Amino acid sequence: MKFNAKDLALLARRPSGYFDKEGKLKICRVVGDEKLIEPRERWCRLKGNLLFLMKNKSSEVSEVVILERCWVVEFRSKTDVSIVLKFQSGEPDLYLEAASKPDCESWAVALGEANSEGLQNKIQQLRRLIMEIKEERSSDEARQFLPSSQVDSLGEPQFTSIQRIANEPKLEFSLACKDLVAATRDRKLNTFIQVSVVHPAEHILTRYSSTEIVEGTRDPLFLTGVTFPPEYPIYEETKIKLTVYDVKDKSQDTVRTSVLPDHKEPRADVGRSFLGCTTFRVGDLVKSKEQQLTLTLRTSDGGKTVGTIEVNLVKMGELEDGETDHITTDAQDQKCALVRECTATEGISGKDNLPSLNAVLKNPICKLYRFPTSDNKWMRIREQMAETTLSFHVPKELINLHIKEDMRRNQELKDLGELAPHWDNMRKSVIAHCDQMLSMYQDTLAELGKHTGSSFKSSCSKGEKTLEFIPINLHLQRMHVHSPRLKDALYDVITVGAPAAHFQGFKNGGLRKLLSKFEAERRNTGYQCIYYSPENTAKAKEVLSNINHLQPLISSHADLLLNSASQHSPDSLKNSLKMLSEKTELFVHAFKDQLVRSALLALYTARPGCVLKKPAVPRNSAEEGGDVQHQDHPSHIKRQDSIPHHSEYDEEEWDRVWANVGKSLNCVIAMVDRLLEKDNVSNSKEGEKDPSAADCKVLHAGGDWYEQLYPLVITLKDCMGEVVTRAKQSMAFVLLQELACGLPQCLMLTLRRDIVFSQALAGLVCGFIIKLHTGLHDQGFLQQLHTVGLLVQYEGLLSTYSEEAGMLEDMAVGISDLQKVMFKVIEAKSEDFLPIITGRREHYVIEVQLPAKMFELLPQEIKEGKLLRMYPVLFNVGINEQQTLAERFGDTTLQENINQENLELLKEYYKLFTEKMPPDCLPHFQEQNDLKGLLENLHQNIQAKKRKNVEIMWLAATICRKLNGVRFTCCKSAKDRTSMSVTLEQCSILRDEHQLHKDFFIRALDCMRRGQIVHDAESGFSPKGGGGSPPTVPVAARSKYLRKAPTQQQEVCNDHKLVVSIFPSLTTAFISEPGKHVCRTI
């Protein structure tokens, strides 16, 4: 650029009032962080985009800096008084140092606004301000003409609500532009529309949403619609402003637009330019005959016309007829159209299940697409993603159970009685550690009770200690397909981050490795404590659980027996005796185990001064529990005291103690039989003589029944109490050995396992409830549910390298532990439909509550409370760049072993299914013979040990769907890999099951994945939040939950050529060159 030196010198000598700013600054040039020379004081004068540098105020100008294509870097520390001017041309930076902080800040503002871009920003802001003032004036003028019926007693206007269907959005419309005018003739426009709302009460302009960017056309058809959720305060009087922008750099603008706050306008320096805007009333759109408005776009001053906008009202259920040829336009991106976006939760089975579903689902985000089929007809696809309240509900319920279980265990350890010093010190150490762990559980539960806000845990919170029991990004991903010639179908996938203990880390591996190592170390600690196998410790916990469950039941039935005797009710007496006999037999059977006897002996040896005595004649415990019906009175039973501490101990004493329970029960049975027999004889004789005398006899006999049964029942309770005391102490001693052999590792492993299991269980409960609601009208599925059980298939996308290998080990153990979970469906007695969790660590029962109308649809077996089994299987295939390293330089044995083990479990389920279910029980898939071939193909692919064999994932998912199973997809955080896998699976289903046109497969995939990255979800948007702005992204892309800064998003695409390669046999891999942005939200 050429300048006239004389004119510049003359300009620099103008009077002080002529300049925008002037003053003293210390200046030097900077390269990197190094100053070329020491800063020198100069008199600086700023005029427009020219900065004059002079030695002093009266001297000649020594240098002129042109402030174009540069930006100001201001240092934010309180003491720093310097700024730096950086130039895009690459010339050395200009360092400027002021005398004070206020002076520095004023110079930074002046220099930042000095260039031509800053001037353009000012002009645009003034134009927008003028337009808003005009709109406010027109609104104020219109208000005085409102009818008096619309003004309440306070003088505030009342607005007209929009009629709508329950649980449906208030308003939805699609947008398209025509005949847009570009700044230059040869330029092709890349446009998007910014949607803002002018609320009639406040007269404030609020940014609401925006469309995607459509490239290369002056007639853009926008794929993204606009929707207002049911709770949004929108009325017929509401105005909506549509502003059209032209974008120069699409990738940068997509990112920068999405992170702008609602109250700020985009800056001009992001590579966009304003084209035009228009405004319309909602009432005009709703009441228009064709439900369409054609609006004129004008420049900011309201003078020049730059094109038109078509606004089309969209209503759910109005399906288009005709061929699909008319959707083709000049732009490639417009070959598949998004029809609408909504926030309603709805299933095929109707709206009766909405109350119970709304109890577990929250903040649903829906989008509807239309794609052509192979016969050129339209199919509609509604895609929905929803959070679930179970993300926090299930872990809190589970932690509460852990606290109660651990408190009982600690009390049982304290009730062991007197022990030798070695064992007593061991017990004190164990109890101290257990109390610390119990306190940690209580603190975690208290912190979770304080949690408010989001109903899911984002990936950036996976390392937080207070949230370590909560699953990461647990969501329902649902696709509802409506085809013109096929039956509607639902496809559900639960997406969740891999269940793993992220806070504890993976330095030493995951649970699979840690448990194996711990068990090996326990075997070598026999000199300190007694080793019991994991099977024996599990048996001990089961015995304790049976005791705690059966003892109160037996006591209750014994009281009912006495009550029936006092009322002289033969029928009630028989029923009470039957229940008492059944529960007592279960009680006695629970102790027919060598573990109890050996544990009692071990406990006795741990007492101070123990002496063992070998029995002279060994007796069979079965003989002790033989037929004793000829013993008429409990006085013949020899009572035993508790385990002796300082006397000889008989090893067979335990057999006699628990056999006394059976003998006592036999005495009760014999007495009841005798009483009933005498009563029958007496009633027949007395009834023949005198009825009134018979009545008196009944009253007298009632007292005799109670008096004769009472001592027998008390003896039964005493014998049972003695057995309970001994069994509890012996089993608590076994648990003491388990804990003492591995302190503190044992408790830390229990904690880690509880954390992983909590995350896995939350997802399982969510998946079961969704599947149950979906299949309520499918009798074949309901029969399969109570006859065979439910298949739960997890698709893992973790690598076997570095930390993700530890995550995979955690995940494998957590999913395997789900086998000990049983479900029971009950009728809800209130409006609270959240599931109820009972049980202990080795056995949990989840009670799912259904409303009365839905409960009546269930088979009788399920309504009677039959427990429903789960069959979880996990198949993992690493697909990212870390898996490449693992396959070339590491070890993939972990993945191979997991896949092989779970293949056997899947075969076991299939065998059980074929044995118990009829062949026509799955109406949606006619060719069930293919299942055997699919299983064989899956077996071959697992045995092949092929690198990144994603065919395993596709085969496992297909088998799961054909067997009415629940599908899960997991990666590290349920974001990038998960979203790519889910969208590809959905499009593959559309192609294989619903005849998606082959030429539209990639376009449909792009349409589902494409979208704008909305602002960080921490901005607090909720579909029920009133004035918040709803996300405008593809559901499966999950960009609402990505929680990444734009630069991090770009790094995902820049670091590696292979972004992701999933199912290469189905579609091409998604490749990007280094340094180029991939304009897809993943």
Backbone phi, psi, residue 690, to 5°: -145, 115
Spatial separation of the C-alpha atoms in residues 749 and 509, rounded to whole Å: 12
Nearest residue to 790 via CA among 924, 932, 954, 964 = 964
Nearest residue to 1052 via CA among 976, 984, 979 = 976
Burial (CB count within 10 angstroms: exposed 0-12, middle 13-18, buried 19+), residue 226:
buried
Nearest residue to 574 via CA among 465, 680, 425 = 680
CA angle 826, 830, 834 (to 5 degrees): 60
Spatial separation of the C-alpha atoms in residues 652 and 109, rounded to whole Å: 94
Residue 85, strand partner residues: 72, 94
971 is catalytic: yes
Nearest residue to 830 via CA among 858, 854, 850 = 850
Q: Are 606 and 645 in contact (CB under 8 A)?
A: no
Nearest residue to 188 via CA among 221, 212, 220, 222 = 220
Q: Are 534 and 519 in contact (CB under 8 A)?
A: yes
Q: Which two tokens stand for residue 484?
A: 């013109």
CA 497 to chain centre: 8
Nearest residue to 157 via CA among 234, 237, 233 = 237
- Set 70, 177, 277, 971: catalytic member: 971
Q: Which two tokens stand for residue 562?
A: 């006495």
Backbone phi, psi, residue 13, to 5°: -95, 10
The length of the chain is 1082
Per DSSP, the chain holds a count of helices (H) and strands (E) of: 27, 32
The β-bridge relationship of strands 21-31 and 378-388 is unpaired
Q: Are 948 and 887 in contact (CB under 8 A)?
A: yes
**Cα distances (Å, whole numbers) of residue 39 to 27, 87, 98:** 5, 19, 11
Nearest residue to 994 via CA among 490, 268, 501 = 490
Q: Are 293 and 284 in contact (CB under 8 A)?
A: yes
Backbone phi, psi, residue 627, to 5°: -75, 120
Q: Are 1 and 63 in contact (CB under 8 A)?
A: no
Residue 296, strand partner residues: 308
Instruction: Report the catalytic residues.
Output: 971
